[in-house]
């Protein structure tokens, strides 16, 4: 009887061990978990079209920088650096270094704005711009001008060079370069001259005039004059209508 009970207990233990119930010695098998977070995707990087656009933009900025640098160097008097930004053909078209530099002798400032590159390829570019200049001319007058210009550039040995330069003045006057064109002070208005005398402008407010080669004590002096009214200063001593005749 005892043996039968022992057998029954052993069978029950075996049955429990082989069941699908989890115990400390027989844990339940783990189930795979499913994440609800989105899976990260790798960055595909720039496309070929993106690379083409970026390369073109770099070329445009480089061409624009060449034009800006040229006019900045001219304004600072760094002529050798500016001259080196022109191709041999453009330098020849400017008449050579001395002629080109002479064109900026009176220039004290240059500033290029609205600089825009168009039609840029690997070897060619067109740059348009607006140029503001300040000059001090031969008459010591400051003149300001505004130009609209265009450069044609070519890429040689890894750098842009200007091959053709053109500009059209939009406003302002060209500076006077020859001092002989400046002239003297403007002639006095007839309203500022004594109405009784012609041939010289006598100040109507002067207390007295004497002939410049005479013995009078002034305080003002004049050369020959024609008396056409009352001879207030008594310059026509012989009454023939001509004053200070001996001063001629």
Is the pLDDT reported for residue 120 higher than 60?
yes
SS3 letters for the chain? CHHHHHHHHHHHHHHHHCCCCCCCCCCCCCCCCCCCCCCCCCCCCCCHHHHHHHHHHHHHHHHHHHHHHHHHHHHCCCHHHHHCCECHHHHHHCCCHHHHHHCCCCEEEEEEEEEEEECCCCCEEEEEEEEEEEEECCCCCEEEEEEEEEEEEEEECCEEEEEEEEEEEEECCCCCCCHHHCCCCCCCCHHHCCCCEECCCCCCCCCCEEECCCCCCCCEEECCEEECCCCCCCCCCCCCCEECHHHC
The whole-number pLDDT of residue 23 equals 46
Measured distance CA(177)–CA(53) in Å, rounded = 47
- Tens of pLDDT along 50-59? 887 888 899 9
Ramachandran region, residue 153 (left: φ > 0; alpha: ψ -120 to 50; beta: rest): beta
- Of 173, 114, 117, 125, the closest CA to residue 148 belongs to 114
Is the pLDDT reported for residue 66 higher than 90?
yes
- Tens of pLDDT along 76-118? 999 999 999 999 999 999 999 999 999 999 999 999 999 999 9
The whole-number pLDDT of residue 19 equals 47
**Full-model pTM:** 0.57
When pLDDT is averaged across residues 13-30 and rounded to a whole number, the result is: 50
- Tens of pLDDT along 179-201? 888 876 665 566 689 999 998 99
The whole-number pLDDT of residue 151 equals 98
Is the pLDDT reported for residue 20 higher than 50?
no
Q: Which residues, in sequence order, are bridge partners of residue 168?
A: 148
The whole-number pLDDT of residue 53 equals 81
The whole-number pLDDT of residue 24 equals 47
CA atoms lying within 13 Å on the CB side of residue 239: 0
When pLDDT is averaged across residues 9-23 and rounded to a whole number, the result is: 51
Which domains are present in the chain? 50-177 (3.10.450.50), 189-248 (no CATH)
The whole-number pLDDT of residue 13 equals 53
Is the pLDDT reported for residue 39 higher than 80?
no
When pLDDT is averaged across residues 149-156 and rounded to a whole number, the result is: 96
Measured distance CA(199)–CA(82) in Å, rounded = 55
Is the pLDDT reported for residue 148 higher than 60?
yes
């Amino acid at each position: 009887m005892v043996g039968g009970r022992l057998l029954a207990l052993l069978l029950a233990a075996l049955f429990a061990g082989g069941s699908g119930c989890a115990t400390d010695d027989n844990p339940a098998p783990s189930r795979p978990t499913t994440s609800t977070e989105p899976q990260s995707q790798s960055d595909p990087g720039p496309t070929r079209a993106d690379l083409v656009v970026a390369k073109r933009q770099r070329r445009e900025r480089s061409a624009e920088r060449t034009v800006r640098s040229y006019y900045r160097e001219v304004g600072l008097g760094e002529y050798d650096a500016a001259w080196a930004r022109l191709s041999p053909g453009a330098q020849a078209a400017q008449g050579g270094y001395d002629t080109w530099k002479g064109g900026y002798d009176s220039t004290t400032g240059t500033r290029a704005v609205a600089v825009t590159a168009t039609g840029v390829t690997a070897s060619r570019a067109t740059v348009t711009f607006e140029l503001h200049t300040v000059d001090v001319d031969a008459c010591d007058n400051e003149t300001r001008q505004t130009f609209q210009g265009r450069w044609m550039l070519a890429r040689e040995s890894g750098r842009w060079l200007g091959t053709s330069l053109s500009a059209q003045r939009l406003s302002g006057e060209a500076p006077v370069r020859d001092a002989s064109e400046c002239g003297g002070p403007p002639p006095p208005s007839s309203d500022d001259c004594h109405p009784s005398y012609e041939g010289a402008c006598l100040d109507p407010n002067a207390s007295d005039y004497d002939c410049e080669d005479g013995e009078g004590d002034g305080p003002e002096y004049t050369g020959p004059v024609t008396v056409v009214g009352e001879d207030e200063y008594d310059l026509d001593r012989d009454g023939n209508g001509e004053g200070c005749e001996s001063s001629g």
